[in-house]
Amino acid sequence: MILLAGFLDVIFDAVTLAGLAGAAGGIAFAFAVLLPLRGPLPSSALRDAAAGVALGAATVAGFQGARLLLAPWSLADEQGAWPLGPFLETGFAHAGLLHAGLAVAVAGAALRLRRRPGSRRGWTALALVAAALVASRAWLVHAVSRPDDRALLMTITDLHQLAAAVWVGGLAHLLALRLRGRRDPARASAWPAVLARFSRLAFAAVALVVATGLALAWRYVGGVAALVGTAYGAMVLTKVALLGMALVLAAQNRRAVQRWRRAGDRAAADLRIPFLVEAEAGAAIALLLAAAALTAQPPAVDVTDQRATLAEVAGVLAPKVPRLVPPPHGPMVAASPSSVDPYAQPGPLDRWQSDFNHNVAGIVVLLAAVAAFADRWSRLRVARHWPLLFLLLAAFLLLLAEPNGWPFGPEGFFEVLTSPSVLQHRAATLLVVALAVLEWRVRAGRLAGTRWRFAFPVLCGVGGALLLTHSHSVLASRWAYLVEVSHNAIGVLAVAAALGAWLELRLPPREGRIPAAVWTASMGLVGLVLLFYRE
Ligand code: HEM
């Protein structure tokens, strides 16, 4: 259970962070955008924001509560008895209960504020309770267990999380305002002014996120060898890459706002920016997942004997002859450790099988990327059937991704689903089937022009998110890290493909070329990472 509990804890932590963003970001959005624009904007905008804050805080309470249950559940003894007494004496339990309790208080105060949404005093009182909620999170991060500079690191981590919440939560509230504005002319007409105010808030929040993030990275990573040689360092780099994607999109928002300010030209603000903000929010959600996965790893400074060298990391991604012949099945299964053994280290035959699986999957993904490219930029009509190649990949994953398990291995289908990597492989298979069938019906069938056309970018995004929380072992071992290097790279590329495909669908057709190039190229790169994968 310990592996599954670890995987679920990262997911629950990420949802808790998203809830915190909805709450703290919503309050900042009210002060920086909505209250100053009370004239042009109807009071219903403030009421909606208060509802969003309540929803965010309730999410924190719920998922923080779920995290508190995970720990004693994963430590249950053979009889299934949970060590609740000893657990409730731990600092983590106290801090978690306080955090969940304060979240309930914020949710209650926000619901009450919905009755008088225009009250600045009401929002100030809510902000004070929310400040306590954000502060209480400082007892749930690495800093609380550091021997040196504990208070300083707790403060920096808390400022980092607050700035992240203001930016990500602000994006969510901005999109909600836009969504509700489609039927409300007052909101629609105030949109450029809303964007201009939010742009200032977001700029300050991102500046603070980066400054505090670099300070944390300095203390918890400390050097290039640790940055490229540990899972913690690699997750920091993953966050920087995702932040880079978000900032490319955010820069366009700023330009549109400046054009409106200078010449009153609101065309870009109305026709382009809402969709860029959607994509920016997508990148921000992936960032929160990466942040939760980051803090589930031991800080890089503490991982000294299991670091990979730069050459080893480069070797993982470097071109090499793919392994397209599987190992002998019998001896491989006989030598293979159980899928649910959290401390298992794979043998040479296991690694050979895993290389074969990833390399063959790489060929299929690469072919699909080339065909998708041809479908977009050539007159080759047959190329529009490229999603069907993913059905081939799904069949391959179902039959061979778990060689120890059903259908050809000795382990039962359900018996090993408590292993996160088995669970994620099976989920990935379902995801690939859904992606193949839906996208094919959009490109070659009757679903073109329907909402189903958004399934492809969303499924890519979910796949990328799954990979960013992927962990192969509870041990901070060099082997496990080198495996994660490829999975992180594929996770980031899948997020880039999701954003590109989303923007190609949402932006005016003449602006779809660059997004289309981004997603087809990202898919091709995923194929190459898989093709050259080696454990
Ligand atoms: C230059 C970019 C960034 C760097 C170097 C960076 C670095 C870090 C580090 C080292 C930590 C871990 C602290 C610990 O171990 O306790 C951390 C935590 C965190 N980061 Fe960042 N970060 C960056 C950008 C971002 C962005 C853009 C976001 C948000 C969208 C973000 C959200 C978070 C959150 C929410 C946490 C706390 C996670 C938790 O407690 O579970 N970071 N960051």
- Reported as a single tens digit per residue, the pLDDT across 17-36 is 999 999 999 999 999 999 99
Q: Which atom of ligand 1 is nearest to the CA of 297?
A: 15
Q: Which of 133, 294, 297, 469 to mutate to test the pocket of ligand 1 (most atoms within 8 A of CB)?
A: 294
**Residue 430 to residue 327: CA distance in whole angstroms:** 26
Largest Cα span, the chain = 75
Select from 142, 206, 216, 238 the residue to mutate for testing ligand 1; criterion: most ligand atoms less than 8 Å from CB: 216
Domain extents for the chain? Answer: 2-302, 310-531
Q: Which residues of 23-59 are buried (b: 16+ CB within 10 A; e: fewer)?
A: bbbbbbbbebbbbebeeebbeebbbbbbbbbbbbbbb
Rounded to whole angstroms, the Cα distance separating 287 from 304 reads 26
Strand partners, 411: 405
pLDDT at 470 exceeding the cut of 70: no
Contacts of 476 (CB under 8 A, 6+ apart): 230, 231, 297, 298, 303, 306
Give alpha helix (H) positions in 296-347.
310-317, 329-335
Give the number of the atom of ligand 1 that is nearest the alpha carbon of residue 246. Answer: 27
Instruction: Give the three-state DSSP class for 245.
Output: helix
pLDDT score at 469: 78
Q: Smallest Cα–Cα separation from 249: which of 209, 182, 202, 190? A: 202
User: Which of 160, 162, 301 is the best mutation target for the ligand 1 pocket, counting ligand atoms within 8 Å of the beta carbon and taking the most?
Assistant: 160
Identify whether the C-beta of residue 241 lies closer than 8 Å to the C-beta of residue 492: yes
CA of 84 to the centre of ligand 1 (A): 31
Expressed in angstroms and rounded, the spacing between residue 280 Cα and the centre of ligand 1 is: 17
Is 503 in contact with 279 (CB distance < 8 Å)?
A: yes
Tens digit of pLDDT for each residue in 96-138?
999 999 999 999 999 999 999 999 999 999 999 999 999 999 9
Average pLDDT estimate for 319-338: 90
Which are the contacts of 175, defined by CB distance < 8 A and separation ≥ 6? 274, 277, 278, 281
Give the per-residue pLDDT at 472.
52
- pLDDT above 90 (res 81): no
> Which of the residue ranges 57-71, 355-369, 388-402 would you say has the lowest mean pLDDT?
388-402
Nearest to 34 by CA among 52, 18, 19: 52
| Residues in contact with ligand 1 (CB, 6 Å cut-off) | 13, 17, 141-143, 157, 160-161, 164, 168, 209-210, 213-214, 216-217, 220, 236, 239-240, 243, 284, 287-288, 291-292, 294-295, 299
CA of residue 309 to ligand 1 center, whole Å:
24
- Our CA angle for 405, 317, 481, nearest 5°, is 60
